[in-house]
Homo-oligomer: A and B are copies of this chain.
Amino acid sequence: MDERLVHIKEKLEIEGYRLTNQRIEIMKFFLSHKGHYKPEQIYQQLKRKEISIATVYRIIDLFIKFDFIQEVTIGADRYYELKIFSKKIVHGHFSCTNCNKIIDIDDKTVKTMAFSMISHTERDQEIAIDQISIVMQGLCDECKRLF
């Protein structure tokens, strides 16, 4: 078995989950398809392999819980892509144009949006992105009261 699958299996089993055929098929799908896919697209590829759309959704939730994959949203569409084995870096900062204070933006939502931006742009421009740096400027909490 693919060593990456062995790794997945171990991770799952530590918490009492099993690596079933359906989970193997979905993980193999992600391992062999770069990019981001909707649940329906994954289902279409795998349905001849004894899998239902409800299971696709449930396995996606599980894989997200284990950080094997991540959700990227483009517009209001939800896609999923492999996260484990990937080492993309997100830097986020805010700088106040009045007092010059710098705030580190490190929250999960911004990170998720950054990954969405990366996924979209990689597909759109046919490039490979491994870092994103986001700098926002404006007025901080305190300074915005003065204007």
Residues of A in contact with B (beta carbons under 8 Å apart): 71, 73-76, 78, 94, 96, 103, 105, 107, 109-110, 112-114, 116-118, 120-122, 124-141, 144
> Copy number of this protein in the oligomer?
2
State whether B133 touches A134 (Cβ < 8 A): yes
User: A73-B75, A112-B75 known; A132 and B135 CB under 8 Å?
Assistant: yes
A120 touches B125 (CB 8 A): no
A134 CA to B115 CA in the complex, in Å? 12
Chain B residue, CB-CB nearest to A144: B128
Contact (Cβ within 8 A) A121 B139: no
How far, in Å, is A83 (CB) from chain B's closest CB?
Answer: 16
Query: Which B residue sits closest to A117, measured CB to CB?
Result: B113
Residues of B within 8 Å of A121, CB to CB, are: 94, 105, 110, 136
Question: B76 to A76, Cβ gap below 8 A?
Answer: yes
Question: Interface centre among A109, A118, A139, A140, by most B CB within 10 Å?
Answer: A109
A139-B128 in contact (CB<8A): yes
